Amino acid sequence: MGSPALTTGALAELVGGRCEGDPDRTIHGVAALDRAGPGELSFCRGGSWARILPHTRAGAVLVSDLDPPEGVVAIRVRDPRYAYAIAAAELVPLDWPSPAVHPTAFVHPGAVVGEATIDAYAVIEDGAQVGDGAWVQAHAYVGHRVRVGSRARLMPHAVVMEGCTIGERVWLQPGSVVGADGFGHVIGPDGPVRVPQLGTVVLEDDVEVGANACVDRAALDETRVGRGSRLDNLVQVAHGVRIGAECMLAAFAGVAGGARLGDRVVMAGRTAVIDGIEVGSGAVFAGLASASRNVPAGRKIGGSPARRYGQWLREVAAVRQLPALLRRFDKLERAFHDAEGRGGDDGA
């Protein structure tokens, strides 16, 4: 089955843009700016790609203020990358399978599976509920009493442990684990003792968990990830964490037990939140930032321990100047001692 085709005029209407050029040109796919052909759509936000734009052979390009070469249709939008995401989903839709249960899948008689797709060697345990249109791919595991919402997708080797709730349209990328025990241990006189992890995990609607990322169950209550939030590959969310709506956590970000994130928090790669910390809505973490104190709403922070982003930038700039400053100091110190020595000789 081929990809659907749209005219450039229809694409402009779809993304809320303005078509500059032939509105009837047919576009049937998408490609990178330097590889796109006459029937394909691309986008350009500037930066290094701006140097490629004059040479593109794309049929149409999503741009804001840049100009593609003559003969290429420009679709003017405010945010080319966002518009591309909308257009690409329409031009290259995901081939979602029809409902079916593969003969090698294990579905416990006590499970309730709607009009869903259960692929080869997937496991659905007793008491689990899988909603209509859900897709549980090969070797994925759905534990006892798990609820999987409609149109959710559990990719190969994704794991959802007992009692967890997966909302509608949630995506779990390959190898992600939801509901493993949190890191609860106490040191006793005879060594470490495990603290029972008796809580659960709730992923609200439209959440995505990246490959090999982990969301641990709470010790008593719940770990919750808010509607529309995105966790990148290898993200760690510890027991009892609450993450608000539409947060973005990049690779290797970690949120320690009991921490609270407001809505639309952005954590860049290898950032961290210490246990029990509260992060206000709209806060932004620069790469490697580590928050050991509460972060106010809207604050942009950097460094470890984290501080205001502007302050951190000034400190980094100052550190880079230290070698030159030390050389100047050594030169001044030598000059001072030489002058002092000459003064002593004159007074002898």
**Catalytic positions:** 239
Task: State how far the Cα of 19 lies from the Cα of 73, in Å rounded to an integer.
Answer: 7
Q: Spell out the alpha helix ranges (H) of 78-221.
A: 80-91
What are 309's two structure tokens? 């982003």
In 3D space, the residue among 188, 253, 257 whose CA is nearest the CA of residue 219 turns out to be: 257
| Alpha-carbon dihedral sign for residues 194, 195, 199, 202 | negative
To the nearest 10°, the Cα dihedral for 340, 341, 343, 347? 140
Question: Is 102:124 a contact under the CB 8 Å cutoff?
Answer: no
Q: What is the CA radius of gyration of the chain?
A: 28
Task: State how far the Cα of 91 lies from the Cα of 205, in Å rounded to an integer.
Answer: 24
What are 198's two structure tokens? 């008796």
Which letter, b or e, does each residue of 37-66 get, where b requires 16 or more Cβ atoms within 10 Å of its Cβ? eeebbbbbeeeebeeebeebbbbbbbbbeb
Peptide bond into 103 cis (omega under 30): no
To the nearest 10°, the Cα dihedral for 180, 181, 183, 184? 170
Cβ neighbourhood burial of 327 (10 Å; 0-12, 13-18, 19+): exposed
Q: Are strands 177-178 and 200-203 parallel, antiparallel or unpaired?
A: unpaired
Task: State how far the Cα of 282 lies from the Cα of 4, in Å rounded to an integer.
Answer: 37
